[in-house]
Amino acid sequence: MLICENLSFSIDGHKLFSNININVENQKDLLITGPSGIGKTTLLSILCGLQKPSGGDVLYNDINLYNLAENKIDHFRGNNLGIVFQSFNLINSFTVKQNLELANTVLNSQNNDYLYNLLHRVGLADKSHLKVSKLSVGEKQRLAVARAFIGNPKWIFCDEPTSSLDDKNTENITTFIKEESLRCKASLILITHDKRVQSILNFSQTLKLGEEL
């Protein structure tokens, strides 16, 4: 279970958000919405242990995330969370396949057989040999989504995972996210304005930043 209690974040004396309370049960989902600049990406970074909040707690089951040492936070994130960044965070000089293999190696896994299946399902199997720098923005986004599910994470975080996709690829990737989350028995926390995504995933709960105060 993911529980957030009274989260707040300020930058340069400006309060971006405050009094954020979240409760996501295991294998459930949460949609985060709100206008641009309200702090959605910052909130996701806090939930993933990438940016410390100004106040409040983030708890995964019985683990208070920000009570851990920084290296322990990194270890927890690597072993339990799958993240789709808005900026993708891929290595452009590596091939498509190498980007997935690297993520697999970080998790100390020697099994690369299922990586092809992930690439096939996001429509990139025929481009596994290409360097990421040769991909379109939409193809990079699909690769970033595939990478998030390496290691069978228990919590999936997606920041606008279909922002660069057409209708066909949006349906395919959203269905992929849904199916893989179910396979991993993972909770899904997703930021999007995309009504196409919302209609497919049919979220059980929604947090609208800017309306919680």
Any idea how long the chain is? 213
* Cα dihedral value 71, 21, 198, 174, nearest 10: 10
The pLDDT of residue 113: 80
pLDDT tens digit at each of 213 positions of the chain: 999 999 999 998 899 999 999 999 999 999 999 998 899 999 999 999 999 999 999 999 999 999 999 999 999 999 999 999 999 999 999 999 999 999 988 877 767 788 999 999 999 999 999 999 999 999 999 999 999 999 899 999 999 999 999 999 999 999 999 999 999 999 999 999 899 999 999 899 999 998 644
Domains observed in the chain: 2-208 (3.40.50.300)
The pLDDT of residue 106: 83
Which amino acid, residue 10? S
Q: Among candidates 90, 113, 120, 116, which has minimal Cα distance to 103?
A: 90
Is 0.85 surpassed by the pTM of this model? yes
Kindly list the distances between the CA atom of residue 115 and the CA atoms of 12, 112, 135, 150, in Å, as whole numbers in the listed order. Answer: 43, 5, 18, 8
The pLDDT of residue 105: 87
The pLDDT of residue 112: 77
